[in-house]
Structure 1
Amino acid sequence: MPYRMILSPNINMTFEDSEDTKTYKIDNKMDIGLMLRDCLTAAKKEDRVTCGLDNACELLETKADSVMLCILPVNDTNDVTLQIHSTLIEAFCWENDINLVKVDSAEKLAKLLGTSPVTSVNDNDRPTGRSVAATTADFECVLVEQPVGVPTESDEEVVEFCKMTCDMSPPPVVDLAV
């Protein structure tokens, strides 16, 4: 299993890169997990959240410049297909300057965003009118679009966190608050 660094409340970390003597400092006055939760809650209310690999890929293909943030849960399963999809989305985000956050679990994303039931579809991709519960598979990739108006404080904090940690390897894993 690869090394994971989980960021928790009130962290203060320094990473030194021996080659470039780069120092990364994260002095987190507020818990990034709480800020991400607030960002997702506000985005959900404003209908700026896209969940699921297929929907996310479609949005990235058609309107990548409208995406403020991509959230990928850490994949601890042996599902090779999911790992490949996640790696490709991560690379796409990197190439297109889309902020990326890795979180500790798809289950937490499902709890936070999955309160609204998903409308089921028939074989012709037409809504049936029945509601089905969202599953954790629906939260293997979550995209948050740019706000129409002024970004919230939590939006700005999450984007700042992404900028501060984008060059870290391995990328930090945020402990998402629910």
Structure 2
Amino acid sequence: MCLTKSVEKCQVMNRNKLSRSLKSALINAKVERRLVCGLFPAIAFLEKSPEDVVLCVLPAARPGDAATHIQAVLLQAFCYENYIPVLQVDCGEKLAKYCGLSTKDKQGAYCNCAIITRDDTLPLLEDEVIPMSKNEHLLADFYECTLEEFPRPVIELPI
């Protein structure tokens, strides 16, 4: 019966709302200082306290960047082992924009990883469940619903 309920929840999930929900979750986490951007800062945070991570966001792999791709694959494996939802987005430039990263050169900013951490001002719920916003819950549910899809779905971030 539990399986039927989760299948039904996945079938009625509106995938069109995901991009706006992710944008909102990233912006809110940035404002609340719960957003860690960049591959190495994210890895450093995950190394210290993976239990405080709500969500990991990675852009689709850039062609010709094998080193970053390998690091991202290892990061995904680490997140999978620690039950951290990983969502893939279409563009690292858009992700950088929502993370507040910018450069003054002509190439623009690129973000190869972003993690949303838990709000440490809120107490952990029973059974150490991390409190999440409505948008974060929606994104975590999407991750669970698409866990067995291959290739993994890519969320197209709004401009």
Other structure's SS at 1:25 match = helix
Query: What residue in structure 2 maps to residue 86 of structure 1?
Result: 72
Normalized per residue, which structure has more strand?
A: 1
How many corresponding residue pairs? 141
Determine which of 80, 97, 109 is the counterpart of 1:135.
109
Determine which of 133, 137, 155 is the counterpart of 1:174.
155
Other structure's SS at 2:64 match = coil
Cα distance in 2 between the residues matched to 1:161 and 1:92: 19
Normalized per residue, which structure has more helix?
A: 2
Q: TM-score when scaled to structure 2?
A: 0.79
Deviations 1:45-72 (A, max 9, x none): 1100001111011011111110010000
Query: What residue in structure 2 maps to residue 54 of structure 1?
Result: 40
Structure 1 moving runs of 4+ over 6 Å? none
Structure 1 residue 145, shift from structure 2 partner: 0.4
Deviations 1:118-154 (A, max 9, x none): 9xxxxxxxxxxxxx78831xx1010100223353211
Determine which of 79, 82, 87 is the counterpart of 1:96.
82
Shift of the 38–69 alpha-carbon distance from structure 1 to 2, 3 Å rule, reads same
Deviations 1:4-52 (A, max 9, x none): xxxxxxxxxxxxxxxxxx9963531751000000111111111000011
Gaps of 5+ in 1: 1-21, 119-131
1:80 is aligned with what amino acid? A
Gaps of 5+ in 2: 1-6, 123-130
Query: Which has the higher Rg, Structure 1 or Structure 2?
Result: 1
